[in-house]
Structure 1
Amino acid sequence: MGNRSKKSQIRGRTFNERTNRIGVHAVGTIFLADFQWLFRPQEVSDLGIDAVVEILDNDEPTGRLIALQIKTGPSYFRKWGDGYALTIEKRHIEYWIKYSIPVYVIIADPERKLFLWQKVERRLCTPTRGGWRIGIPRSNPLNPTAKPFFERPAPRDAQSIARAHFKLDRELIDEISRTGRAAIFVWDEWRNENAWRNLRIYIDGDRSVAADLVLDLDLAADGGLPEIMEKVFPWSRHCYAEETSISAEVKVHVLSVELRNEATAYLQLERFFEAGEPSASLLLRRGEGSS
C-alpha cells in the first residue's frame, strides 16, 4: 500500500512538472514572438519565480526586467467576480511585493489558448485563511496590447537595473566564483542581420565538453557585443579569447569572462546574510570599537 501511494505521488509530481513546463514554454512563446522581448525560464524556481523577461527596444537590450509566476491548467481558472481568483501562500506574496523587480502572475491554459495576467500588488490581494487571494480579470489577456502595463513598472534607473541583474544571475555568478577561473562565453554574430545569438556559457572555461548553459538570445546593439555584455551581464568584465568565422554570414566570438569586483562584493554580502544575522554582542563590540 505504501509503495503504491509513493508511486502515485511520483506520477502526480511528474505530471504537474510536465504541465508546468508546457505552460512556461507557451508563455515564453508569447513574450518572444508577440512582445519580441527576451524570456528566461528559471531552472531553480526562486519562491515561485518561474521566468524573468527583459524588455527590448528594437531588439536592443534595455536591462529592464520583470518577473513571472506562471500557473498552468484549467484548475487555476477559478471563477471569482468578473474574472478568476488565484490563492497564493502568504510568504510568496510578501516576498514578491518586496522583490527587486515587478512580479506578475499568469494563469495559462495552453489547450484553450487562454492566458491572463495580473501584477502583484498588496492592494489587489485579499487575505484568506490559507494565504492571499488575487483577482485576475478576464480583461487582462496576455497579448501585445498589454505591453504598456508590463513596461511602465519596470525599473529604469541604472542602479535598480544593475541590482536586478545581479539577483537574476546570482547562481551563475556564484558558480563562476567557485571555479576560481574565467568562464568562456561563445556568441554567434549574424553579420547580415546585425544580430547576436545563441550564447553558450562554459563556467569552468572547458570547451571540450557540452556548454553548462545555453541561452537562446537574439539581440542587436549599435555598440556591438561590448554594449550587449554591459547591459545583459553588468556584473562581468571580458576580453577576447578567440574570434573565428564559420561562414560568410556567421562569425563566432569567444570571450573570457571574469567577475567584476562589485560582483565579488555582492556575493560576499549575500553569503553573509544567508549565514544568519550577526549577533547583538558582535554588533555591540563593533560599535564600541568605532566610538
Structure 2
Amino acid sequence: MMRRKPSAKVASIGVTQTQLAVEARLGWLFREQPTEDYGIDAHAEVVDADSVRGRLLALQIKSGSSWFREQGRGGWWFRPDAEHVQYWTNHSLPVAVVLYHPERERCYWQLVSRETLIKTSRGGWKLLVPEAQVLDESARAALSQAAEGDAYTLRIRELQLARPWMQMLDEGMRLVIDIEEWVNKTSGRGSIALGVDNEDGNDPEQIASWTVFLGLSGYVEVVPKLFAWASVSLHDETYEDADYSDYPYERNDWGVLYPYMNPSGEVDFYRLELTLNDLGRAFLLVDQFATKGLRQLTA
C-alpha cells in the first residue's frame, strides 16, 4: 500500500498557507510552480488597485517546525545550499524565502539578496528570517518595492523615466518646479508640478504633476532628491517680484531654497528652476550610447 510521507503533507500545507496569505491578506495573485525542485515553489504577482502590471516575486516555501530550530537575533536562521544561492541570486525575479510555522499557523519571509545573505566561516550561507516579517498586510510595501526591482535597477529606471526632461534641459529649455506645501499639516501634504518656462510672462506650461504626502520631511530637502539629475535653484524672475512684508512666519532659518509667498498662512509656494547637472549629462551620454551605438556617438 502506498503511503503519503508526513513531510509531503507538511510541505503541501505550507504552500496552501502561503497561497492564502498572498491572495487573502495581500490581495495578490499566486501561481504554484511545477513540482521539479529548482528552488522556486511559486510566483506571487502584485495587484495594485485592481491593476496587474506584471510585477512578480519568486517564492521558495519551506514548511515545518524544523525550519525554526535555529534561533537568530530577532528571527531564525535559514541555511540554503550553494546551488540554490547561485540560482536565486542570478534569477530574473526577486526571490523571497517563506517559512511556514505550523503551530503558529503563520508564514514568515525574507528577501534573498547580497545584503541579506551571510557567508559562514565554513564557506556556506545563511539567511535570517525575522520574526517581525509576517506574510500579511504589513509586508505589502516592502514586497511591492522588491517586485519593482533592486535599488540599482530602480535608480536607473528613474533616470530613464526622466530622460525626456533631461533632453529638454539639454536643448536649452527652462524647466521649473512649482510646489505647494501645506505647512500646518503633519501629513506633509502638498503638490509638485513640473513645467516649462516659455519666458513669455505667463505661468509655466505644466507637463507633469504629483500629489505628495511627505510627513515631517522637509520639501527643500526631498525635492532635490526627486530630481537628482538636475541642480535646483530659485527661479529668479519669480523671487525678484516676491513681497515678504505680509509673510506670516519667521524667515531667520531659511536656507538656499525658500518659498516666495504664503498668502493664507497655510500654504508655502515655491518656484524652483532645474539645471542639468553632471549626473544628468552623464546619463544622456550613456543613454545615447545604449540606444544609438558607439559609432553614432563618436561620429
Which TM class, normalised by the smaller chain length? 0.3 to 0.5
What TM-score do you get using the length of structure 2 for normalisation? 0.46
Q: Which has the higher helix share?
A: 1
What TM-score do you get using the length of structure 1 for normalisation? 0.47
Whichever of the two has the greater Rg, that structure is 2
